[in-house]
Amino acid sequence: MSGGGVIDATGPTRTQVWLGRTARAASGLAVLGLTAAIVAGARLPEGTSGTSVPPAQISVPASVSTLVCAGPLIQPDDTGRGDSAFDPTPVDPVTTVTAVTSVPDADGGSAAVVGSLDRSSATGTLDAGGDSAVVTGVAGPQVVRAEPGAAAPARVAATSAGLVTAGDLRGLSAASCQQPTADAWLLGGATDLSSTAQLVLDNAGSTPAEITLELWGPSGPVDLTGERYLVAPGASRMVVLGGIAAEQRRLAVHVSATGGRVGVHVQDSAIDGFTPAGTDLVVPGAAPARRQVVPGVSVSASAVGDVTASALRLLVPGTVGTTARVTLLGPGGVTELPGADEVVLVPGEVTDVPLGGLPAGAYTAVVDAGEPVVASAVVTRTGAVGELDDVPSVERAWAASTAVGRSGVVAVPTGTLGTLVVGAVSSDADPSADGVATGSVRLLGADGVVLAERSLRLDAGTTGAWSVDDLATGTGAIVAPDPAVVPVPPATLAGVVGVDLVTDEGSTVALVWALVAAVDQPDGVLVSVLDPVPVPRLTADVAVREDPRLGTR
């Protein structure tokens, strides 16, 4: 045999191999069992044998409240009309952000900071204990960050307002700053030849947000290319909706975000020839549901068939059509609207229900349908005929559907007149069923001054409207004063900067509300409808139970 290896021809027998393997397996099992016994003994508390341990209640502190405010209006392109008399932007927009904090309790104060979207600079501060701030000369989207109070989340609100007195963007374009979201439904605007709709996405977070869109028009869903839009942290992105969904007389948009949350709005503007026909910001409303409630439907006098009259916009985003019933709750109760008892909705088609012929006043629109729907309303004001115009100018404002029975705060845009519009909606199938809704209203002035406090009592099926300045001076009707708060005399009233409405929860009749802001101009009234910023609910205590198997003590 070549090589130096040695082969042992006398190796172990098969019986010896199996006996060895059995011995090693038994030894391993014994070691494993001993280890498990030692671990179990170490992890079981002394004196227990696996019995349950009583849970401990751990308080979850309130988090910082973040609101995203729209930036300045996007200026229209000069379409080459040539004559300076038809300059689309003869005046620059005046953009402001008004922020306010409310402190119902003595120890509930919270501080807030207003700053740029990318957090590079602070533009305003609000002290703890209730305060207000007005930021002028706004150059970009703003973010309000409010620390929680001693025992509750911050009661904070802010409003971004752009005022344009002439040109294609004539109007008051105001919206409450919104909590960032990953899912938004916006019902308003158009992309036909006389309209412009631009979707604005603001990312106030620290991670990129990837956006997908769904759009619907009067003929059904819009076929998109499936493109996704990436919005970097601290950045904004604008999508010209006419570029991806052209020639849509009525528009609905669904925004979905992954990776982050965004603030979102649509800048909607229209012209009639060379005459401005209204500009406003369309903001997210309630997600699809079988009942939608739209507050703040403040209409002026109009005739049936008036193409510039206010309207209610509806959409069934699903694949099954339905019939909707529209109930308008006015000052005296339910107001009949011919044809509103049965509105046939084709799935995917955006439908407008004209409100022409309604008596002037403030209404709450309640939509009940057999399938989930989304809803909004557009309110209009007709202005004067300009020297170079053939028709009167028109101002438009979009009102979104909102949750019923939620407390909230609204910041009144500086330089505007505010009207509080409150509806009482029954949870019954009939929204005007018997009952009473109650709540309380606090009128806030500058530097945290509580100008007045009122108790609110409203019959189901009705809508009330009051000037906030009148309520602050004690001249408001229906809402009774709280004797503990002395109203500020009119001579010293600097103006209401915030409205804080607290609803009484648990009732079968609940309040829903909005603030209508207006500016009187020589050529007509400019308006916007502002939704309240909901007060975050305090997270309930979390029960934490010791797990005996983990040995935590």
Query: Does residue 238 sit within a domain?
Result: yes
CA distance 252 to 188: 6
Query: Does residue 444 sit within a domain?
Result: yes
**pLDDT above 50: residue 420:** yes
Q: How far is CA 356 from CA 299, 392, 473, in A?
A: 9, 17, 34
Q: Are 308 and 272 in contact (CB under 8 A)?
A: no
Residue 549 in 3-state DSSP?
coil
**pLDDT above 50: residue 504:** yes
**CA–centroid distance for 296 within its chain:** 15
Residue bearing the bigger pLDDT, 294 or 109: 294
Q: Model-level pTM?
A: 0.84
Least confident span in 27-36, 425-434, 490-499: 27-36
Only one residue has tokens 């010293």, namely 492
CA distance 379 to 463: 16
CA distance 30 to 22: 12
Which 8-state DSSP code applies to residue 449? -
Kindly report the number of other CB atoms within 10 A of residue 191's CB atom.
25
The closest of 519, 499, 496, 352 to 422, measured between CA atoms, is 499
Q: What is the pLDDT of residues 232-267, one digit of tens each?
A: 999 999 999 999 999 999 999 999 999 999 999 999
Confidence of residue 35 (pLDDT cuts 50, 70, 90): very low
Model pLDDT, residue 154:
85
Q: What are phi and psi of 249, to 5 degrees?
A: -70, -25
Question: What is the residue-averaged pLDDT of the chain?
Answer: 84
Query: Does residue 25 sit within a domain?
Result: no
**pLDDT above 60: residue 48:** no
Only one residue has tokens 């392109």, namely 77
Query: Does residue 43 sit within a domain?
Result: no
Q: Are 60 and 133 in contact (CB under 8 A)?
A: no
Model pLDDT, residue 226:
81
Mean pLDDT, residues 286-303: 96
The closest of 134, 222, 153 to 447, measured between CA atoms, is 134
Helix (H) or strand (E) holding 317: none
CA distance 329 to 358: 12
Structure tokens belonging to residue 498: 């915030």
Model pLDDT, residue 474:
76
The closest of 351, 349, 343, 348 to 370, measured between CA atoms, is 343
Which residues partner with 515 through β-bridges?
420, 530
Structure tokens belonging to residue 285: 């409303």
Structure tokens belonging to residue 465: 């409207």
Model pLDDT, residue 364:
98
Alpha helices, H only, 171-255: 241-244
The closest of 459, 468, 286 to 377, measured between CA atoms, is 286
**pLDDT above 80: residue 56:** no
Model pLDDT, residue 546:
62
CA distance 332 to 328: 11
**pLDDT above 60: residue 437:** yes
Query: Does residue 549 sit within a domain?
Result: no
Q: Are 417 and 519 in contact (CB under 8 A)?
A: yes
Model pLDDT, residue 147:
85
Percent of the chain past pLDDT 70, that is, above it, reads: 79
Domain count, the chain: 1
Residue bearing the bigger pLDDT, 390 or 355: 355
Q: Are 439 and 404 in contact (CB under 8 A)?
A: no
Model pLDDT, residue 385:
87
Model pLDDT, residue 550:
55
Model pLDDT, residue 370:
97
Structure tokens belonging to residue 225: 């290319």
CA distance 158 to 397: 18
The closest of 181, 136, 138 to 400, measured between CA atoms, is 181
Sign of the torsion angle spanned by Cα atoms 307, 308, 311, 317: positive
Residue 32 in 3-state DSSP?
helix
Residue bearing the bigger pLDDT, 22 or 465: 465
Model pLDDT, residue 447:
78
Residue 31 in 3-state DSSP?
helix
Query: Does residue 285 sit within a domain?
Result: yes
Distance from the first to the final alpha carbon of the chain:
70
Least confident span in 1-15, 87-101, 117-131: 1-15
Query: Does residue 164 sit within a domain?
Result: yes
Q: Specify the pairing of strand 408-411 against strand 533-534.
A: antiparallel
Least confident span in 370-384, 446-460, 521-535: 446-460
Model pLDDT, residue 165:
94
The closest of 126, 130, 129 to 97, measured between CA atoms, is 126
Query: Does residue 83 sit within a domain?
Result: no
CA distance 394 to 505: 39
The closest of 178, 143, 165, 158 to 94, measured between CA atoms, is 165
CA distance 347 to 481: 48
Confidence of residue 64 (pLDDT cuts 50, 70, 90): confident
Mean pLDDT, residues 497-508: 88
Find the Cα–Cα–Cα–Cα dihedral 46, 50, 56, 62, rounded to 10°: 120
Confidence of residue 109 (pLDDT cuts 50, 70, 90): low
Confidence of residue 389 (pLDDT cuts 50, 70, 90): confident
Confidence of residue 338 (pLDDT cuts 50, 70, 90): confident
Domain interval for residue 165: 65-77+88-534
Q: What is the pLDDT of residues 448-492, one digit of tens each?
A: 788 888 899 999 999 999 999 988 887 665 555 544 444 555 444
